Amino acid sequence: MSNSLRLLPVILIVWILIAFAWRLIQPSDSTVRSNLVNREVPVFTLPAATNGRPAFGSADLATGEPRLLNFFASWCVPCVAEAPILERLKQQGVKIDGIAVRDTPEGVAAFLERNGNPYERIGSDRSSRVQLALGSSGVPETFIVDGNGVIRFQFVGPIGSADTPKILQELEKAR
């Protein structure tokens, strides 16, 4: 057996250890991103999530100007933190529609009562059907849909005040 072949196991072990160390230093990103960015919003219609706002469907999205599509839920704690940011975006003229995931009319009403209501329409997605159809994997999550009904951007997690410039910039890009 040649010497280099004898070294092979050592090289393999070192290589595996380096791989471990690399992943420890740089953990992999477990964010799930939708593959539907730059594709048309899949067709869906949802019943109204609460009395205060009309029902919501994909037909309401292609309005000629970009809109935010926000997945939220009354049982979602980060959504509470996101609510005032959405409110501020609304005051800046951003059009926002909501999809309440796995929620009840009472739950949604109480959530909006407490945290404000920046939504023009809110659809109720009781078994996450539309969430799955859009390639989304949790709440809160926000999509930017342009005037032709094409998804242009996906934001995973709660939008913080530091993220609003990015959102406004992406909205401008989608115009």
Binding site for another protein (CB under 8 A): 1, 30, 32-36, 73, 75-77, 101-104, 107, 126-129, 131-135, 137-139
Q: Which is nearer to another protein, 4 or 127 (CB)?
A: 127
- In angstroms, what is the minimal distance from the CB of 55 to another protein? 19
Residues facing 154 on adjacent strands: 143
- In angstroms, what is the minimal distance from the CB of 121 to another protein? 21
- In angstroms, what is the minimal distance from the CB of 128 to another protein? 4
- In angstroms, what is the minimal distance from the CB of 92 to another protein? 29
Q: Which is nearer to another protein, 36 or 168 (CB)?
A: 36
Could you give the CA distance from residue 83 to residue 167 in angstroms, rounded to a whole number?
Answer: 15
- In angstroms, what is the minimal distance from the CB of 134 to another protein? 7
Q: 27: which residues sit within 8 A by CB, 6+ positions away?
A: none
Check the CA dihedral 69-75-78-82 and report its sign. Answer: positive
Angle (deg, nearest 10), helices 77-91 and 105-115 = 60
Token pair, residue 43, equals 């067709």
Q: Which is nearer to another protein, 69 or 89 (CB)?
A: 69
Residue 105 CB neighbour total at 10 angstroms? 15
Q: Which is nearer to another protein, 73 or 145 (CB)?
A: 73
Q: Which is nearer to another protein, 63 or 155 (CB)?
A: 155
Q: 111: which residues sit within 8 A by CB, 6+ positions away?
A: 72, 73, 74, 79
